[in-house]
Amino acid sequence: MTANDCLQIGLFLVVLLLLVKPVGSYMAKVFADAPNRVTRAGAPIERVLYRLCGVHAGEDMGWKRYALAVLAFNLLGLLAVYLLQRVQQWLPLNPQHFGAVAPGSAMNTAISFATNTNWQGYAGESTMSYLTQMLGLAVQNFLSAATGIAVLVAVVRGFARKGAQAIGNFWVDLTRATLYVLLPLSLAMALLLVSQGVVQNFRPYVDVPVVQASSYVETSKDAARREVSKDVPVTTQVLPMGPAASQIAIKHLGTNGGGFFNANSAHPYENPTPLSNFVEMLAILLLPAGLCYTFGAMVGDTRQGWAILATMLLIFAPLAVGAVAAEQAGNPALHGLAVDAQAGALQPGGNMEGKETRFGIASSGLFVAVTTAASCGAVNAMHDSLTPLGGLVPMWLMQLGEVVFGGVGSGLYGMLAFAVVAVFIAGLMVGRTPEYLGKKIEAHEMKMASLAVLLPCALVVVGTAIAASVPAGAAGVANPGAHGFSEILYALSSASNNNGSAFGGLSANTPFWNVLLGICMFLARFPLIVAMLAMAGSLAAKRHVPASAGTLPTHTPLFVALLACVVIVVGALTFLPALALGPIAEYLMSAH
């Protein structure tokens, strides 16, 4: 690694950490039970929305009602996105006259955006109308992210409340997450992106003359069924237009990741400059990191939030450095060929395949780690072109459960499930009932936490086994051997942890893959939400247990190390055999 690499990674982490407290403190005020300056300012708008929707804002919900509201709201959103895609050819704001999206792809996309996964088996600029992009996909970007925040807030109330039968009001939490957090931040970021050159318009696509004309060979058959080849000149290029900036802002802030264009954040109309690239990376981790402080503020001990954030950074920072280092080292199979030399010297020049020259290796490698640490899936480089070890990093970050920052809200409540497991293990070591934040962790809480931790793992390994063993799954693989297996493993890791990024070499827009990945995305989102809300309801009803000499402090470096070890061990024990068949095997073959 170079000094420039270290500077870029260090600057990013410093800016992120400087923003954690102000952003987290603001969100703590947004979701506080008592009125404050933040909520009083938007109270008139809230009252109008509640009156229109028939919501009783002062009503607290038990965990079952809260979970039912979450499921009903998101299933209705899923159905709306599906129907919108199926009838888009008859709707306005479709200047390219795109037809209806195929049923399998529409189903997969609807599940993907409703679950905050935003997996895309289609090319946005050649499939979706402007109306579908805005009314369907962009709206779901807001609502799925707001759902994750709302569920997290309910879980935190479970720890904070004592002897309570309710954990809040889903409709209020959803409204406040959207109105006070996601909308203003998205507006500010969209304006910044437009200033950098991101498009935001409703114009039809534009044909422009190319700087240098070229041609390609087109093969067809004549009347006698003989193949005929002819040169086709290329004198123009189609430039896609559309309301991109508004969707790109929320796709990063909401850790959604669905690109307006097929190339996602590698497209110059989504991510034109190094500044826009830095802002987009920062936006991905801003709310997941800030919510750690919000958690500490809401439970009355900000040290707890800093401890969770420290655990995330303890895992993230080395893996981010590892991703950049692996790409800077280049492909070992090419080192002896002097084809990657710098300035004529026989030294590795790094792996620039699949990367944008305007970003380079450091910004691309850091983006790889950021987007897969969070449940985002936005990409500014082709992950399929990463070196074997460079590709292992994003794969493993997802397989850890998307809890190292993770999705907005969902990453933190996933990490809290790991924290419950960690204190349970510590309790077993000393022979006493484990406690976390003054609440005893008993059988019910352990069952719910175990479900939240293990279900995504099971979906990855079972789904990979199915896809690799049936012809319909293997048919989508573009590369043979270890790399082809990595493509399958990556796709199931992404879908089963609600990430949405892809290696890119897998042809996944087929009936088999649309159904398999759709099932994984659905089961990785909603059963976990129900499990965490059930745990929150149980914890809220419990009385506070005063700390004693046998209580494990959960804000110390010792607990940070214990929690990080639990996350890493679960990931390693579950996925090391699969990783050995994929990226590790590929690395060993390329090194020799």
Element (H, E) at 231: strand 227-239
The answer to whether residue 349 scores a pLDDT higher than 70 is no
Phi, psi of 211 (to 5 degrees): -70, -40
Over residues 196-224, mean pLDDT: 88
Can you tell me whether residue 302 is helix, strand or coil?
Answer: helix
Phi then psi for 51, rounded to 5 degrees?
-65, -40
Q: What is the pLDDT of residue 567?
A: 94
Q: Is the pLDDT of residue 337 over 60?
A: yes
Helix axes 302-329, 410-430, angle to 10 degrees: 110
Give the mean pLDDT of 581-589: 90
pLDDT category, 228, cuts 50, 70, 90? confident
Q: From CA 400, how far away is CA 156, in angstroms rounded?
A: 22
DSSP letter for 259, please.
Answer: -
pLDDT of residue 591: 67
pLDDT reading at 219 higher than 60: yes
Q: Is the pLDDT of residue 269 over 90?
A: yes
Highest mean pLDDT pick, 225-239, 288-302, 419-433, 544-558: 288-302
Ranking 276-285, 337-346, 413-422, 446-455 by mean pLDDT, the lowest is: 337-346
Residue 477 forms beta bridges with which residues? Answer: 506
Residue 345 has pLDDT above 50, yes or no: no
Confidence of residue 455 (pLDDT cuts 50, 70, 90): very high
**Residue 220: predicted pLDDT:** 81
Q: Could you read off the pLDDT of 369-387 as tens digits, one per residue?
A: 999 999 898 999 999 999 9
Residues 39-73: pLDDT tens digits? 998 999 999 999 999 999 889 999 999 999 999 99
Q: What is the pLDDT of residue 592?
A: 63
Nearest residue to 253 (alpha-carbon basis) of 279, 227, 226, 220: 279
- Measured CA to CA in angstroms, residue 433 lies from 9, 164, 364, 550, 567 at distances of 41, 22, 46, 10, 21
pLDDT tens sequence across 181-201: 999 999 999 999 999 999 999
Cβ 64 vs Cβ 170: under 8 Å: no
| pLDDT for residue 218 | 84
With a pLDDT cut of 90, the percent of the chain lying above it is: 76
Contacts of 77 (CB under 8 A, 6+ apart): 114, 139, 140, 143, 144
Q: Which two tokens stand for residue 295?
A: 């958690």
Average pLDDT of the chain, as a whole number? 91
Residue 346's pLDDT band, with cuts at 50, 70 and 90, is very low
- 499-527, pLDDT tens digit by residue? 999 887 888 889 999 999 999 999 999 99
Confidence of residue 428 (pLDDT cuts 50, 70, 90): confident
Region 435-448 average pLDDT: 92
Residues 367-393: b if buried by 16+ CB within 10 A, e if exposed: bbbbbbbbbbbbbbbbbbbbbbbbbbb
pTM, to two decimals = 0.93
94-130: pLDDT as tens digits: 999 999 999 999 999 999 999 999 998 888 888 999 9
